[in-house]
Structures are given as structure tokens and as C-alpha cells.
Amino acid sequence: MIVMTPGTCFPDLPPGFFVRWFQQHGRAFPWRHPGTSPYGVLVAEMLLRQTRASMVAPVWIKLVQQYPEPQALASADPEALYQLIRPLGFGQQRVAALQSMARVVVERFGGVVPNRVEDLESLPHVGPYTARAVCCFAFGQPLAVVDSNVLRVLSRLAGWRLSRDIRRSSARCAWDAASRLVPARAAREHNYGLLDFAAEICKPVKPRCAECPLAGQCCYASCRVRGAES
């Protein structure tokens, strides 16, 4: 057991589980291609917020083709950018966020997306998840990424209750647990695997526990079995 905080534990998982999951079941998205630039990864992560990846894919392809670097995005015609992004919803907000991020990359970082978490977090509209996602997916750094989907998986495995009152402390536990799970090598594949596992197996509604290879280690699944037996 990994002790997270007093009274809070995280189950042992098979080593390399999420790396293998990605290798066998990983989803293919254009921004996951090995040649994708850090700028392309950053734009993808910003577009993916609250939006299905399948919707983002065609928009992301057009966007990075038309605006292949931060300079081009910073100086883009906002109306043309809006028309491109509009299918994803929140068009005006997304345009403002992308262009303000791109302007700061140009002005403060010479048009080069930085590779340090603290520099990325200093960009407008880039928070802890996006900063670490770029460091991991674009630069291969062994950092955890915790979004609401990863938080759901880890919480179910560990049996953390995610009531509103303790969501903040649970999120801290999740960052700790996720950090301990990240392998020194293949961090990118590990985090992609965790995200894909959350999307395909440990779904928000009706998780597929009956076919889940982690059911034996999972508090959520064992509680459901105990509940059904009692």
C-alpha cells in the first residue's frame, strides 16, 4: 500500500499497467503523433477542455495547418479563427484564450513553447493540468497529469469519497498518487493509457467493472460486490 495521508491509502497496481493498456487499447488522435510540436500539443490540450476528442480532431488539424506556430496564431484574424473553432462551442472564449496564450509565448518566450511547468503555468489560460500535459506529452517529462477523469479513476481505486467538501483534499491525494504511478520511462504512454482507461473502462456513468482488469484491487468494485452480497 502507498500511504497518501493519514488514513488514506492507494492500492498496489500491476507495474506498467497503464503503459501496457495504452499499447494494447490506446486511442489514436492526430496530436498524439510523435512529430507533433509542443505548440500543437498545447493547442490540443486547450481545445480538449470540456470537449470530446473526436470533435476536436478535425478542428485541431485545420488550426495547426492554418496557424502552424504561435506567431501565426497570435496575429490571426479573430473572425477567421472563430469560424474555424465555432463547431466546438465557446468560440469567442476559445479565440481569446488561444490568442492571449500565443501572444505571451511570442512576447516572453520568443515564439517557442517553454518546457518548464512554471513557465507554462505563467501563460494565460494554462493551468496545472495543461502545463504538465505539455511537459509530459510534448517533452517526455515523467510528470503526472490529473484531470477530472484521472481523478475519477484514482478515487474509485482508492475509495476516496468525492463529496464537494473534500474534493480539494482528494485532488491533492490524486496528484500524489498519480505522481507515484508515473514511470521514469514511458511516462507519455502511461498517462495516455490512464486517460484512455478512464474514457473506455472506468467511465463516469456505468463503469465497466465486470470486465475491468483492476477490479481485484479496486475499492469501488469491492464495495459494490459487498453491497450486492449483503
> Would you put residue 85 in left (φ > 0), alpha (ψ -120 to 50) or beta?
alpha
Look up 147 and say whether it is catalytic. Answer: yes
Q: Give CA angle at 12 (161, 22), nearest 5°.
A: 90
Footprint of ligand SF4 on this chain (CB under 6 A)?
Answer: 153, 156-157, 201-202, 207-209, 212, 214-215, 218, 220-221
Contacts of 164 (CB under 8 A, 6+ apart): none
User: Which candidate in 82, 119, 121, 129 is catalytic?
Assistant: 129
For the chain, how are helix, strand and coil distributed in percent, rounded to 5?
65, 5, 35
The smaller minimum CB distance to ligand SF4, of residues 25 and 208, is found at 208
Cell of 230: 449483503
User: Which candidate in 39, 67, 147, 189 is catalytic?
Assistant: 147
The smaller minimum CB distance to ligand SF4, of residues 71 and 222, is found at 222
User: Which candidate in 39, 45, 176, 196 is catalytic?
Assistant: 45
Select from 19, 8, 3 the least CA-distant residue to 192: 19
Residue with cell 479563427: 81
Cell of 163: 463529496
* Distance from chain centroid for Cα 83: 26
* Distance from chain centroid for Cα 163: 22
Look up 176 and say whether it is catalytic. Answer: no
Tell me which amino acid residue 114 is. Answer: P
Look up 67 and say whether it is catalytic. Answer: no
Q: 69 and 111 in contact (C-beta within 8 Å)?
A: yes
b/e code 109-143 from CB counts within 10 Å (16+ = b) = eeeebbeebebbeebeebebbbbbbbbbbbeebbb
CB of 174 to ligand SF4, least distance (A): 14
CB of 222 to ligand SF4, least distance (A): 8
The smaller minimum CB distance to ligand SF4, of residues 87 and 204, is found at 204
CB of 130 to ligand SF4, least distance (A): 25
CB of 28 to ligand SF4, least distance (A): 22
CB of 82 to ligand SF4, least distance (A): 38
Cell of 187: 511516462
Active site residues: 45, 129, 147
